[in-house]
Amino acid sequence: MGERKSIFWGWYVVMGAFLVTSISYGARYSFGVFVKPMSLEYGWSRSVVSLGASINMMVYSLSAIFLGRMIDRVAPRWIITAGAIFGSLSYILTGLAGSPLCFYLAYGVLCGASTACLGLLVVNSSVGKWFVRKRGIAIGISTMGVSFGTIALAPLAGYIVKNYDWHYGFIFLAALIALIGVSLSQLLMGRTNPESYGFFPDGERREPQILETGHVGEESPLQLSSKVIFQNSQFWILSATFALAVMTLMAVFVHQVAYALDRNIDDVVAASSLGALGFGGFCGQFFFGWFSDRLKDVKYSAALGIIVMAAGMVLLLQATTAQRLYLYALVYGFGYGSLGPMMPILIADRFGRHVLGHVYGWLTFFMGMGGGLGPFLGGLIYDWSGSYTYVWQANIMILIGCACLILALRSRRGLERET
């Protein structure tokens, strides 16, 4: 009886993943708070400032190739610890940067590489190895940390920037990443997979052979080479979908606050809208993770989330007041909440649990390259047109295309026949 009452270690991994992503993504998505004050103090255009966020995403994505293979072989503890230490240093240096080159090296290169170690690739790959039947809800909960961190940190960073100085905002984020990232990773993220410690996924007493979806052989530790992955059309559909969706997402996160300020919305309200977006995402991450466990094919859950994102962008075009801005943020956030959990769930469903990190790493690379274009293109279009209207309209069309792409995915049985 005692064994049945003990908490399965996988849920401790979920807790650690939730808290690590809270500080990592809370800090990243607070960057929009700093765009306008940096631009005003240094006289940089918004495309110059937002290029730093684009470089950050591209370096993040390049790092994912290496980290994807590593996370299939080693415990995430040391990866996350290293990311927290160097991530903290990068935020301090960003606050001290006085030229575009220093800013790009500190925030673009160092921060991009270090925060990849604290990202969803590392934590959700780890979580995904501990669950099969409850994978959707487990990854959904861990991904909720992204939104929880945004809710907590974006308004706080906005308050510090308004009442003190934007340089202090970066120092605050640095201290938080170092303190929480190192302690939590050492305490909760030290184990690789359940089999290595005498457990089975989901805390089962025996190895599950057939999943609820009817897929057979999920637990076979087949190692897919990069060549095999690249020859599969389903991988390229996933890559294109998430690269384009994240491209629109990053443009929103970096430029949303500046857009609101341009529309004469109070600066604290504008910064707090990131928190509202985070709250919507918090609910969406749980919902879409839960919902995916109840569908025959999780692609329908992913497509629904992307359509909700497009609806949110329509609302953003009409956001001329604080109330409309918050409404947009809640709707768009709910839809964007699907991206984090759906990506690893779709990968595990199509490719298998034991190679989740490898495939996830490559997918994160392409996703990051697309995401890296978002902030820069958004800034470039703004500098050219003097408005974000064209940016948001383009986002709507891209997201509709992404929803159609995700629906083109075949079932895992079709994947097995192809490979």
Q: How many CB atoms lie within 10 A of CB 417?
A: 9
Q: Are 367 and 277 contacting, i.e. CB atoms less than 8 angstroms apart?
A: no
Check residue 226 and give its pLDDT. 64
- pLDDT tens for 253-299 read 778 888 888 888 877 788 778 778 878 888 888 898 888 878 788 88
Check residue 355 and give its pLDDT. 60
Does residue 218 lie within any of the structural domains? no
Check residue 206 and give its pLDDT. 59
- pLDDT tens for 82-140 read 999 999 999 999 888 888 899 999 999 999 999 888 888 888 877 877 787 787 788 88
Does residue 216 lie within any of the structural domains? no
Residue 415, phi then psi, degrees to nearest 5: -65, -45
Model pTM above 0.85: no
Cα 164 to chain center, whole Å?
A: 29
Does residue 403 lie within any of the structural domains? yes
Check residue 88 and give its pLDDT. 93
Minimum mean pLDDT range among 225-234, 286-295, 328-337: 225-234
At residue 229, does pLDDT exceed 60? yes
Structural domain that includes position 68: 8-194+225-418
Does residue 293 lie within any of the structural domains? yes
Q: Which residue has the higher pLDDT, 418 or 167?
A: 167
Does residue 217 lie within any of the structural domains? no
Average pLDDT on 227-251 reads 85
Q: How many CB atoms lie within 10 A of CB 3?
A: 7
Does residue 386 lie within any of the structural domains? yes
Does residue 271 lie within any of the structural domains? yes
Average pLDDT on 21-42 reads 83
Predicted confidence band of residue 53 (pLDDT cuts 50, 70, 90): confident
Check residue 218 and give its pLDDT. 42
Q: Which residue has the higher pLDDT, 146 or 212?
A: 146
Domain total for the chain? 1
Q: Which residue has the higher pLDDT, 404 or 268?
A: 404
Distance CA 337, CA 251 (A): 16
Minimum mean pLDDT range among 44-48, 82-86, 216-220: 216-220
Average pLDDT on 170-198 reads 81
Does residue 215 lie within any of the structural domains? no
Check residue 335 and give its pLDDT. 93
Residue identified by tokens 């956001």 is 319
**Domain of residue 290, CATH code:** 1.20.1250.20
